[in-house]
Every structure is written in C-alpha cells, then in structure tokens.
C-alpha cells in the first residue's frame, strides 16, 4: 500500500507563527517545508516499517532538496 503526503499545512497556529516573518520568502519555506521535513523524519525514525513492512510513502510536490538532510 502507498500513502501519498502532499505538501500543505492546515495548522493555523504555525501559519500565524510564520506569517509575519520579516523575510517574505522565508514564510513559504517555514510554513510548508518544515512540516514536510518533520513528517518525513518522524516516519523514518518510527517503527511503522517494522509493523507494516510493505507500506510505502511518497511526498508529493515537496521538492527534494531537503531529502539529503534527513538521510545523512
């Protein structure tokens, strides 16, 4: 089974926290990339692969520049 995770952020608190960042381009990175990276890290570090060995994940429309940071 595959689970697709789309880049998004429905967390109003986090959106408000980063919504007033002085560097405008940083607001997009912080609001959308940080939760995606954190979610992928949580999946990699969890035991879900032991419990469901055939389960697969895909991070859709999330770019890929951040992947080496969680693999290294």
Q: For residue range 37-51, what is the model confidence (pLDDT) as tens digits?
A: 888 889 989 999 999
- Neighbouring CB atoms inside 10 A of 12's CB total 9
pTM over 0.85: no
The DSSP string of the chain is: -EEEEES----HHHHHHHTT-SSHHHHHIIIIIHHHHHHHHHHHHSSHHHH-TT-EEEEETS-STTHHHHH-
- Can you tell me the mean pLDDT for 52-56? 94
* Contact (Cβ atoms closer than 8 angstroms) between residue 3 and residue 48: no
Parse the chain into domains and list their residue ranges. Answer: 2-71
Phi-psi region of 63 (alpha: psi -120 to 50; beta: other; left: phi over 0): left
């Amino acid at each position: 089974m595959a689970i697709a995770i789309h880049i998004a952020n429905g967390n109003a608190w986090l959106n408000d926290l980063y919504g007033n960042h002085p560097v405008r381009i940083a607001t997009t990175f912080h609001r959308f990339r940080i939760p995606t990276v954190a979610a992928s890290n949580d999946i990699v570090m969890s035991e879900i692969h032991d419990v469901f060995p055939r389960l697969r994940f895909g991070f859709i429309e999330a770019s890929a520049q951040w992947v080496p940071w969680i693999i290294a």
